[in-house]
Amino acid sequence: MSFAARLQAELEQFKQEGIYKRLNYLESPQAPRTKMQGRGEVVILSSNNYLGLCNEPEVVAAGKRALDEFGAGTGSVRFICGTFTIHRELEAALARLVGCESALTYVSCWNANEGLCPTLLSEQDIVISDQLNHASIIDAIRLAKTITRCQTAVYRHSDMADLEEKLKAAKDRRLRLVFTDGVFSMEGDIAKLPDIVASARKYGAVVAVDDSHATGVLGQAGRGTAEHYGMLGDVDIITSTLGKALGGAAGGFTAGPGALTDYLTQRSRPQLFSNALPPTVAASALAAVRHVERHPELVTRLHENARYFRERLLALGFKPLPGETPIIPVILGETAKAIRMSELLLEEGVFVTGFGYPVVPRGHARIRCQLSAAHSRDDLDFALAAFRRVGAKLGLV
């Protein structure tokens, strides 16, 4: 069998298993309602555009100005060709936002995570990871283990007793790094950060939090998981993204002590050997950060929308996972059922994605709803009416 034929056979198997992903093409900006090719206007319930800043005029205008001022890109990596001043401004603003001394941008948070673990860890060290951490953390740890031969351990999801056992067993390691998501993207729950930090301090460990689904989302002013718990400045390392609440374009960052970002600048391979963020992205992300700082009411509105939608789903007879974030998963069990429900909802004009194995554990397939501050009550009621009709058709309510 040829190479292409083998791939095609595997793709056909994906389709039979109901896990084949079909792309939907949008013809207008990411917004609460947008135009989808072949579908017309749809309500979006599947975007990380938590604060509605993807199409915020201030954010878009900043990117346009940067294109005129700085051009399309750096043309090389930062230490070789120079670093634009807009990157320095953005990194200072990001550090301030998440309560750290310094920040360093990457082309994605995936790159930030992969640039962190292999750089900091050696065979004398260990990284201890939550069982449900994002794939980027998992791959960053796998990469570090392969390159540096560091030790690794996994603790049961949000099980603090298990974490403490792992820390106790690692007492002879030079560096003990505990790595967790701030908000777990498939469950919508929040890490037990006070307990994690307390255990880490007890055993002399360092805590890293991937706050991609918490930056702009949690805390009174959207400063993330640390602000949510009143712990700004108490987390050793924060990684996060610019591709969700902060304008949704691209990019990520690592924040922490000045010595950390300086060390990453010297040694982190994704930083050393990749071009910097395009100036348009850096400028639009900076405008998004400043917009969030001026408009904390967006965060309040986001959570009001999430509470309303969760309560109405419950009233309709659905059983969303409990939580307090704008990620609202509705567990359906079977992958085929989740995919079928997402297809029927799209026919009703609601774009929301169904997830099954291997993205989530077997038997835990779901529809994952993601709310935005930009959703109007009419948008939400339109979507809820579609859920009621589809749920009745599938015998779910």
**Cα–Cα dist 286/98, whole Å:** 14
Q: CATH number of 57-294: 3.30.70.580, 3.40.50.720, 3.40.640.10, 3.40.50.10470?
A: 3.40.640.10
Query: Which helix (DSSP H) or strand (DSSP E) does residue 299 occupy?
Result: helix 297-316
Domain with CATH 3.40.640.10 in the chain: 57-294
DSSP 159-206: -HHHHHHHHHHTTT-S-EEEEEESB-TTT--B--HHHHHHHHHHTT-E
Calculate ∠ Cα 193-197-201, nearest 5°.
Answer: 175
pLDDT in tens, 238-284: 999 999 999 999 999 999 999 999 999 999 999 999 999 999 999 99
How far the first Cα of the chain sits from its last, in Å, is: 47
Q: CA-to-CA distance for 309 and 371, rounded, in angstroms? A: 8
Percent of the chain with pLDDT over 70: 100
Proportion of the chain above pLDDT 90, given as a percent: 89
Which fold does the domain 16-45+296-393 belong to in CATH?
A: Aspartate Aminotransferase, domain 1 (3.90.1150)
pLDDT attached to residue 367: 95
Res 111: pLDDT: 97
Residue 35, classed as helix, strand or coil, is: strand
Catalytic residues: 185, 213, 244
The mean predicted confidence, pLDDT, of the chain is: 95
In sequence order, which residues have a C-beta less than 8 Å from that of residue 25 and are 6 or more positions away?
36, 37, 38
pLDDT per residue over 332-385, tens digit each? 988 888 989 999 999 999 999 998 887 788 888 999 999 999 999 999 999 999
Separation of alpha carbons 111 and 108, rounded Å: 5
SS3 (DSSP) at 275: strand
Residues in the chain: 397
pLDDT tens digits, residue range 150-183? 999 999 999 999 999 999 999 999 999 999 999 9
Q: Above 90 in pLDDT, residue 292?
A: yes
Residues of each domain in the chain carrying CATH 3.90.1150.10: 16-45+296-393
Residues 187-213 have a mean pLDDT of: 98
